Amino acid sequence: MPEPTVPVPVVPVPTPPVPADSPAAALGPTALVLGVLSAVGACVPALTLITLPWTIIGGALAVTFGAAGIHYARHGTGRLWAAATGTVLGAVALAAVATLIGAFG
């Protein structure tokens, strides 16, 4: 007579995280959004005086997040173009604010 088989429980195998799951993948797009908002706030005359403090903060954060995003994108996590564009736009916004403060300050 054959021996009865005992069912073996199936244990799911954990899948390794993909690089897109890392929070570092969001640094480039975050820098891009902050850079665009800061550049628009600094370069549109009707918005400049209203958004000046937010433009400084957003531009500084765009440069910071963009630099970190470029670092991670070179290691394969995130998008390089978004991080680089956000960094440049944040720097443009900070330069525009510094020029305005220097000219009228």
pLDDT digits (tens, 9 = 90+) for 73-87: 998 888 999 999 999
Q: Which tokens go with 65?
A: 């997040």
- Tens of pLDDT, residues 36-65: 999 999 999 888 889 999 999 999 999 999
Q: Which residue stretches of 1-105 are H helix? A: 27-43, 45-74, 80-104
The pLDDT value given to residue 87: 98
Which residues does 71 contact at the CB level (< 8 Å), separation at least 6? none
Global model pTM greater than 0.85:
no
Q: Which tokens go with 52?
A: 């000046």
| Mean pLDDT for the chain overall | 89
Number of neighbouring beta carbons within 10 Å of residue 89: 26
